């Protein structure tokens, strides 16, 4: 009996979030994965001549099985597959864009290993929200397939590294000692050789075959302690790591303190000479206050929104980029470095900001780079296992009248000066402090962001808000 693609997808429990389709591994059956793949390809065939599909994976135990279903489903439609194996998401995207072919990355990024996901790329870059709607509404039959993986093509990883070797001067990191927190990162086999080729001494740290769900927006207390301990033990100038699929950087300064992702993005953009930025509403307001950019466009959270804003900025600015609070850097235009051109890569990338900031540490330490910015500090964390519907109800009820929410949160000594509902509920107080609540787009989590003039105060705000919500969530949602 034949089945329609949209019916299989609709009944799967898998949905699109801020970065691809995400869900429980048990729901990503071969049939569901194949349906997403064939639907994606049929949508792409409406605009492009699709003869090949690029596929990559992260180090999750479920990823190879899902990739096999992707490959088999594509070949059943007569589409050949270039399988690049384990590599960073931006490496797959870069290779696919150079070849002018669509791509699927099998990854759940930073979410726990019992979940996974699919990220889709047009031949020109990330899919749009319109593409997402078309994928889940494709009313054609699933073509019978056999799940199988081709041999790994190493070119995707190699070309990604060459992209940076070609523009950054050999020896630019000479004299620097870098700690490489490898864990289960999809790019862990690439970074050490690249940093060494740029002149750095590299010490590898804590490689593991067990998947580690690193969240660069909510760094675990254990990782905070590790960073400081490693710095004291080894005397690093910086520590570099990424999330699971290598599109979000995690960078620590010479003291082992992990830098916030939006600060990483800001420093990188400033060093690259970017004219205009597109960033989500949750990012640090030091971006505007530093005065380095002619225009800053604020968007909803999620790379599709940042990319849409970049397309608008391109009409009036030569050098454009975007980044998110998680640190993923999107290069929206070609930029010139050392007399050579670095091609645009409008998808989240962890490696470009890593190279830019660490190379600059040869003359200005990472802590000094951060200290050169306006004194605005952010913190974030989340409550896990909160249904998205619950988070949305909370935010909807508080958006019209914040008084009940603020009373519950124990915030009675502040006056609300501005409310922003671009994405969730972002409240600015008259003393400049900010709290921002929103449901995660990738998992059943309620996220809280805070901004203040002091890092300790920002962290305390997040802790206070989440503790109060954790204890009284059912009371807030009537």
Closest by alpha carbon to 440, among 400, 378, 381? Answer: 381
Q: Residue 478 burial by CB count (10 A; 0-12/13-18/19+): exposed, middle or buried?
A: exposed
pLDDT of residue 216: 86
Confirm if 9 and 39 have CB atoms less than 8 A apart. Answer: yes
What is the token pair recorded at 185?
Answer: 């990162």
Closest by alpha carbon to 437, among 457, 454, 476? Answer: 476
Each domain of the chain, given as residue ranges in start order, spans: 5-155, 176-371, 377-476
| Distance between CA atoms of residues 239 and 140, nearest Å | 49
Q: Provide the b/e sequence for 273-287 (b: ≥16 CB within 10 Å).
A: ebbbbbbbbbbbbbb
Q: Which residues contact 101 (CB under 8 A, 6 or more apart)?
A: 50, 51, 52, 53, 54, 82, 123
Q: What is the pTM of this model?
A: 0.90
Q: What CATH number has the domain spanning 377-476? A: 3.30.310.50
pLDDT of residue 197: 97
The β-bridge partners of 449 are 380, 436
Tell me, yes or no, if 109 is annotated catalytic.
Answer: yes
Domain 176-371 falls under CATH 3.40.120.10: yes
- Own/partner contacts of 4-8, CB < 8 Å, gap of 24 or more, are 4/139, 4/140, 4/141, 4/142, 5/35, 5/38, 5/39, 5/42, 5/138, 5/139, 5/140, 5/141, 5/142, 6/39, 6/136, 6/137, 6/138, 6/139, 8/32, 8/35, 8/142
CA 20 to each of CA 5, 67, 106, 124, 243: distance values in angstroms, whole numbers, following the listed order: 17, 15, 10, 16, 16
Question: Which overall architecture, per CATH, does domain 5-155 show?
Answer: 3-Layer(aba) Sandwich (3.40)
Confirm if 277 and 319 have CB atoms less than 8 A apart. Answer: no
10-residue mean pLDDT profile of the chain (478 residues): values are 90 88 96 98 98 97 97 98 98 98 94 91 94 96 97 98 95 97 96 97 95 85 95 98 95 96 97 97 94 96 92 96 95 94 96 97 96 92 89 89 89 91 94 93 86 93 93 64
Confirm if 356 and 321 have CB atoms less than 8 A apart. Answer: no
39, 62, 63, 109: which one is catalytic?
A: 109
Residues in the chain: 478
Q: Which residues contact 199 (CB under 8 A, 6 or more apart)?
A: 170, 171, 172, 173, 174, 175, 176
Asked whether the domain spanning 176-371 has the same topology as the one spanning 5-155, the reply is yes
What is the token pair recorded at 74?
Answer: 């594509």
pLDDT of residue 401: 85
Closest by alpha carbon to 342, among 271, 291, 277? Answer: 271
């Amino acid at each position: 009996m034949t089945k329609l693609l949209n019916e299989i997808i609709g009944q799967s429990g898998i949905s699109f979030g801020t970065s691809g389709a995400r869900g429980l591994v048990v729901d990503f059956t071969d049939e569901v994965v194949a349906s997403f793949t064939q639907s994606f390809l049929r949508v792409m065939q409406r605009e492009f001549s699709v003869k090949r599909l690029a596929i990559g994976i992260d180090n999750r135990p479920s990823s190879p099985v899902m990739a096999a279903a992707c490959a088999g489903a594509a070949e059943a439609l007569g589409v050949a597959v270039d399988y690049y194996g384990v590599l960073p998401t931006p490496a797959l995207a870069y290779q696919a864009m150079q070849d002018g072919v669509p791509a699927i990355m099998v990854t759940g990024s930073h979410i726990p290993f019992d979940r996974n996901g699919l990220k889709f790329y047009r031949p020109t870059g990330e899919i749009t929200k319109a593409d997402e709607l078309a994928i889940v509404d494709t009313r054609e039959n699933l073509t019978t397939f056999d799940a199988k993986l081709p041999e790994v093509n190493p070119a995707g990883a190699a070309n990604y590294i060459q992209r940076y070797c070609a523009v950054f001067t050999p020896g630019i990191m000479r004299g620097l000692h870098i700690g490489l927190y490898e864990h289960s990162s999809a790019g862990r086999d690439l970074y050490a050789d690249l940093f060494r080729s740029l002149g750095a001494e590299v010490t590898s740290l804590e490689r593991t075959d067990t998947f580690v769900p690193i969240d660069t927006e909510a760094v675990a207390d254990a990782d905070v302690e590790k960073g400081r301990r490693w710095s004291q033990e080894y005397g690093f100038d910086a520590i570099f790591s990424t999330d699971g699929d290598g599109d979000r950087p995690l960078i620590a300064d010479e003291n082992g303190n992990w830098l916030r992702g939006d600060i990483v993005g800001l420093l990188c953009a400033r060093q690259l000479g970017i004219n205009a930025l597109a960033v989500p509403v949750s990012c640090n307001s030091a971006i505007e206050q530093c005065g380095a950019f002619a225009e800053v466009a604020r968007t909803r959270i999620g790379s599709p929104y940042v990319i849409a804003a970049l397309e608008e900025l391109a009409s009036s600015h030569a050098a454009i980029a975007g980044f998110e609070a998680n640190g993923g850097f999107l290069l929206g235009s070609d930029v010139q470095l050392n007399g050579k051109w670095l091609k645009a890569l409008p998808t989240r990338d962890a490696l470009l900001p890593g190279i830019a900031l660490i190379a600059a540490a040869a003359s200005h330490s990472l802590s000094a780079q951060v200290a050169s910015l306006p004194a605005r500090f952010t913190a974030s964390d989340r409550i896990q296992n909160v249904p998205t519907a619950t988070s949305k109800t909370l935010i909807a009820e508080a958006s019209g009248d914040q008084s009940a929410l603020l009373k519950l949160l124990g915030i009675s000594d502040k006056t609300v000066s501005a409310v922003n509902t671009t994405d969730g509920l972002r409240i600015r107080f008259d003393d400049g402090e900010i709290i921002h609540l929103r449901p995660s787009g990738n998992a059943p989590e309620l996220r809280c962001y805070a901004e203040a003039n002091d890092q300790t105060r920002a962290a305390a705000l997040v802790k206070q808000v989440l503790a109060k919500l954790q204890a009284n969530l059912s009371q807030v949602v009537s």
